[in-house]
Structure 1
Amino acid sequence: MRTNIIKIVLSAAAFGVLSAGAIARADEEHAAHHVVAQPADAAQALPSEGEVRKVDRESGKLTLRHGPLTNLDMPAMTMVFAVSDPRFLDGLNEGDKVRFTADRKDGKLVVTAIERAN
C-alpha cells in the first residue's frame, strides 16, 4: 500500500514538472498573437492634477505631489520632474494647484505641459 502511494506521488510530481515546461513554451509561442489594439491617442499623455511642493529654477526641476499618471503607469505620489521648458517654472510657487502632462524622455520623467489650476 505504501509503495503504491509513493508511486502515485512521484508520478504526479513528475507530471507536474514536465507539464510546467510545456506550458511555458506554449506561452512563448503564442505571446505575439495577443497584441491589443490601442486607440490612436492612447500613447498621448493625459493631464494630471497636482500640487507644487518645490520649484528648483537653478536645476530646472519641479517637485509635484500628483494623482495617478496613467500614461506612465504610476500611482499617486510625490516626485521630482525635469521640465521640457524652463519657462514652465516662471510664476509657479509651492502650494500652487496645477494641471500638467508628464512623459518619459531619454529615461527621465519630464513635465511637457503645465498650467495653474487655481
Structure 2
Amino acid sequence: MKVRQQWKRHVFRDLRPYICTFATCQTAEKLYATRHEWVYHEMHMHRRKWVCEASCGLEFDSRSTMAKHIPHCHQEPLTDTQLQIMLDMRERPVDDPVPASCPLCPAELMSLRQLH
C-alpha cells in the first residue's frame, strides 16, 4: 500500500498539475508540482493589498494604484526611493477568511489556506 501511495505522489509531481489562476501573472506558464507551492505563489505574489495608514485608511489592490494615491494623501513630496519604501512597508496579505470560489471547480472555500 505504501509503495502505491509513493508511486501516485511521484506521478502527481511529474504532472505538475497546478498553474497560477491570475491572468496577469508574469510567470503564468510556470507549473507547480504541489498544492503547497501553488498556494504559496498565489498568496505571496497576487493575493496582496496595500493599506494607506495615513488618515484615510483606504486599501488598494495594486501597488500602482496605491502609488498614485499617496501624493494626494500626503502633503510633503516624496522621492521615488521614499515612495518605493513606503509601498513596501504598506503591503499586506489579503485578509482571510474571505469566502472564495475555487477558480478550477464550483467548490466554495472559506479560505485559500484550506488548500495549503
Larger radius of gyration: 1
Measured against the shorter chain, the TM-score band is under 0.3
State TM-score, norm by structure 2: 0.25
State TM-score, norm by structure 1: 0.25
Higher helix fraction: Structure 1 or Structure 2?
A: 2
Higher strand fraction: Structure 1 or Structure 2?
A: 1
